[in-house]
Amino acid sequence: MKWNIGNVEIKNQVVLAPMAGICNSAFRRIAKEMGAGLIYAEMVSDKALLYKSKKTEDMLYMKDEERPISQQIFGSDKESFVEAAKIVCEKMHPDIIDINMGCPVPKVAVSAQAGAALLKNPDKVYEIVKSVVEAVSIPVTVKIRSGWDSNTINCVEVAKRIENAGASAITLHARTRAQGYSGSADWSLIKKVKEAVSIPVIGNGDIKTCYDAKKMLEETGCDAVMIGRGVLGNPWLIKECVDYLDDGTLPQRVSAKEKMQMLKRHFELLCKDKGEKLALLEIRTHALWYIKGLPGSASIKNQICQTKNSTELFNILNNYIEEL
């Protein structure tokens, strides 16, 4: 089902979450190949952009085939948010700017008083969103959590402020900052937010299967579902959700061989973007997710972590496939 964020048309209701350290261009292209309707790039720091950090500027790398794409920014004051948004638009030309007001990690939410910390001040939320909306010509969205902790669940109030500030959509991860990624997401809060605003609402939290995606849409009335940790080592979840929501197609078992082939493709994309040395470092983490639960995975796990070049890695994977 097609829907829109501002003037950006999105072809289906499956959205890739902006996972830090994960959602670089290589991973996003795999998600797009799997059919993701909208992709969020991993968050970048407003201050790092202002200080012209090369590492942060490199994170803005993308290819046109990833569109429509949203670039997420985190920070703590409206002036730097505005300047960072302008820099992102100038250097990256994304389709959407997303403001992070949900990150729970201490480095962001406590030390920097950014991310989910902003939820404690709805007036500040309004000012930041309004300022960014006025500063750029593309749609601005906001990703929030349900509140700081169980005693301060204020997502409905914050969502209303966000809409009044001119945002084009809201994503709610239905956990508090205190929960982190533990416990369960309270989908009833997504429903309350959807009922409180007229702009699109994207639901996030605990989408592990295509059945979860359909259930969230039906229970909450949200416009789309955002999938994060469920796709780690399993990008097929995106296709399963797209197909099941589209026409009820049931998911098919993904073979060990398919997983190894995807791991190889993922590595090849990383190599093209970052070079072999960095690609080897990054693929190790992804490899552990791809091989989790596969027969004999313990034996190749150590081998993969000790590889020194692409030839060694491909030999390990090819040998594993032959032994299946």
Q: State the catalytic residues.
A: 103
- Torsion, CA 310, CA 24, CA 95, CA 99, rounded to 10: 180
Q: Tokens for 43? A: 């968050």
Strand partners, 283: none
238, 14 contact by CB (below 8 A): yes
Place of tokens 């500040």: 124
Strand partners, 87: none
The C-alpha atoms of residue 53 and residue 77 are separated, in whole angstroms, by 19
Buried b (16+ CB within 10 A) or exposed e, 15-38: bbbbbeebbbbbbbbbbbebbbbb
Q: Tokens for 30? A: 């795999």
Strand partners, 144: 101, 172
126, 164 contact by CB (below 8 A): yes
Angle at 295 between CA 239 and CA 207, to 5 degrees: 30
Strand intervals (E) in 139-184: 140-147, 169-176
Q: Tokens for 193? A: 């937010």
